């Protein structure tokens, strides 16, 4: 039965939404956590309060399933058919899943329906279709020998998800990891577990063996750490803060040296040169800066602009912010919803006062919309005269505050863009093809977009440099690399 967004919104009002542990042949305890929506800070239901014992049970069944070959032993074509059925079910239930992410994360429903869920569906279809088109290699040898170079599933995968794109990040990790034959244990963010729970249910309906895909909900310090330290987990793929990413490296070092894949924070630059087409750039700059309430790792939170066009650009951006409506994310047309929780709201809010004290000049915005719901709503805000020494230039805010810094020369622009511990994404604007080629190579970022804001698409690997992460990439065929291991089989003909 299909469920509409209106029905999800009503169930949320009645506190009837639930996300529990899904572990084959195992009954978790009845412990649960109350789940609140950032829209108005009201209770919308509960999630399971998972434990290390739950993780251990999930790992045991994952390993058993991997070894018995009920999923890992299927041919790529057989797994493909199951993955395609799952993709079709997710597509069929897109409205329900979009509404779950809306109430769980405070994301605008329009974005969930038109961006997040279509991208989620595309990811599942793409990896389902890709899995039977991967080939190994044959080593160059003489007639007396033959060397096969093959890729095998790594085993038990822990996927630890962020709260900012719940359904889409589930797809980015689970689709390639499962398609290649692994057993996967998903730990969704405790703030946003609803869509993950529903998608795992749909996976079982599609024919994914329950032992090959488990869900353990709960707190990071209990469930996430248990996954990171478990001696029978082969790899943990984590998206989230750099601080927590460091912890997973520690967990691995202190346990079985499992592989750790990190996609962490960012402080991405947007560089606007003197010859840029400003009118064409405006919607891209706005999207990079404020899309998803700026709760986005690749958020273009530093606008580095040539001094000769800064005044004109700021006038155009100020006018553009008025079209970004702040409000209840369940309503169509709303672009900016609430911050995810009060602690995060307070952190973002602190940058408003700190930037003024440090010498930044408020251009537009800066107001807290305490009249809306939870009160965790912040207008799109732009500060000018931000220098590299200021907190707003250096630290990831994860909220709708844009820092503007001016430059005179190309070298100065590149130095400012690269003046960060991160290196996830960058964008720049110029009509000079020689400058474009030169600057794109000099900026230290995993994805550099030219004359527009983009993270690439499903075919291109996504991941960063420096403290933005390492160990593997999401998206593209490269995503399979973090979930497989390479084996050489050597034949001797004597």
DSSP-assigned letter for residue 292: G
Distance separating alpha carbons of residues 492 and 494, to the nearest angstrom: 6
* Interacting residues of 407 by C-beta distance below 8 A, sequence separation 6+: 304, 305, 306, 307, 413, 416
Question: What pTM value is reported for the model?
Answer: 0.96
Per-residue CA distances from 338 to 16, 168, 352 (Å): 22, 19, 16
State residue 228's pLDDT score: 97
494 — pLDDT class (breaks 50, 70, 90): confident
35 — pLDDT class (breaks 50, 70, 90): very high
Q: What percent of the chain has pLDDT over 90?
A: 97
Cα angle 185, 187, 472; round to 5: 75
- Domains in the chain and their CATH numbers? 5-264 (3.40.605.10), 269-450 (3.40.309.10)
Mean pLDDT for the stretch of residues 214-226: 97
Stretch (H or E) spanning 125? helix 117-130
Closest CA to 89 of 17, 171, 25, 169: 171
SS3 of 487, please?
strand
Catalytic residue IDs: 263
Phi, psi of 186 (to 5 degrees): -100, 130
Mean pLDDT across the chain: 96
Mean pLDDT for the stretch of residues 198-226: 97
State residue 493's pLDDT score: 84
Give the β-pairing of 259-263 and 235-239: parallel
321 — pLDDT class (breaks 50, 70, 90): very high
pLDDT digits (tens, 9 = 90+) for 58-74: 999 999 999 999 999 99
pLDDT digits (tens, 9 = 90+) for 287-315: 999 999 999 999 999 999 999 999 999 99
Chain-centre distance for alpha carbon 443: 22
Inter-helix orientation angle 94-105/5-13, to 10°: 40
Q: State the CB neighbour count (10 A cutoff) for residue 269.
A: 30
């Amino acid at each position: 039965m299909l469920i509409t967004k209106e029905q999800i919104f009503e169930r949320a009002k009645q506190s009837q939404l639930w996300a529990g542990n899904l572990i084959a042949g195992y009954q978790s305890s009845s412990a649960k956590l109350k789940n609140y929506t950032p829209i108005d800070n009201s209770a919308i239901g509960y999630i399971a309060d998972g434990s290390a014992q739950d993780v251990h049970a999930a790992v045991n069944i994952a390993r058993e399933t991997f070894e018995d070959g009920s999923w890992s032993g299927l041919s790529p074509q057989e797994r493909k058919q199951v993955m395609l059925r799952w993709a079709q079910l997710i597509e069929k239930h897109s409205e329900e899943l979009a509404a779950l992410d809306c109430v769980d994360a405070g994301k605008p429903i329009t974005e969930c329906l038109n961006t997040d869920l279509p991208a989620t569906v595309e990811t599942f279809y793409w990896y389902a279709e890709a899995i039977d088109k991967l080939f190994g290699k044959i080593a160059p040898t003489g007639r007396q020998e033959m060397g096969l170079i093959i890729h095998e599933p790594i085993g038990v995968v822990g996927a630890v998800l962020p709260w900012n794109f719940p359904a889409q990040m589930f797809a980015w990790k689970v689709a390639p990891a499962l398609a290649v034959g692994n057993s996967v244990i998903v730990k969704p963010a405790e703030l946003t577990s609803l869509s993950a729970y529903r998608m795992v249910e749909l996976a079982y309906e599609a024919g994914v063996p329950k032992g090959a895909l488990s869900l353990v909900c709960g707190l990071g310090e209990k469930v996430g750490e248990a996954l990171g330290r478990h001696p029978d987990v082969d790899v943990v793929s984590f998206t989230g803060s750099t601080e927590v990413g460091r912890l997973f490296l520690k967990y691995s070092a202190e346990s079985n040296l499992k592989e750790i894949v990190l996609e962490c924070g960012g402080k991405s630059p947007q560089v606007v040169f003197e010859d840029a087409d400003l009118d064409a750039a405006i919607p891209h700059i706005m999207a990079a800066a404020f899309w998803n309430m700026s709760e986005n790792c690749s958020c273009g939170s530093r606008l580095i602009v040539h001094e000769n066009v800064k005044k004109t650009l700021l006038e155009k951006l100020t006018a553009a912010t008025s079209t970004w409506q702040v409000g209840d994310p369940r309503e169509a047309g709303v672009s900016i919803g609430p911050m995810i929780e009060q602690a995060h709201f307070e952190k973002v809010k602190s940058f408003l006062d700190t930037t003024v004290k440090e010498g930044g000049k408020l251009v537009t915005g800066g107001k807290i919309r305490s009249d809306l719901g939870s009160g965790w709503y912040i207008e799109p805000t732009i500060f000018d005269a931000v220098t590299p020494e200021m907190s707003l230039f250096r630290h990831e805010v994860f909220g709708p505050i844009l820092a503007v810094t001016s430059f005179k020369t190309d070298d100065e622009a590149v130095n400012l863009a690269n003046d960060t511990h991160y290196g996830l994404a960058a964008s720049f604007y110029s009509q000079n093809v020689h400058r474009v080629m030169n600057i794109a190579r000099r900026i230290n970022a995993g994805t550099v977009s030219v004359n527009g804001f983009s993270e690439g698409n499903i075919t291109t690997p996504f991941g960063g440099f420096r403290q933005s992460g390492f160990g593997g990439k999401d998206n593209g065929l490269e995503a399979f690399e973090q979930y497989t291991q390479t084996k050489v089989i050597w034949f001797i003909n004597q």
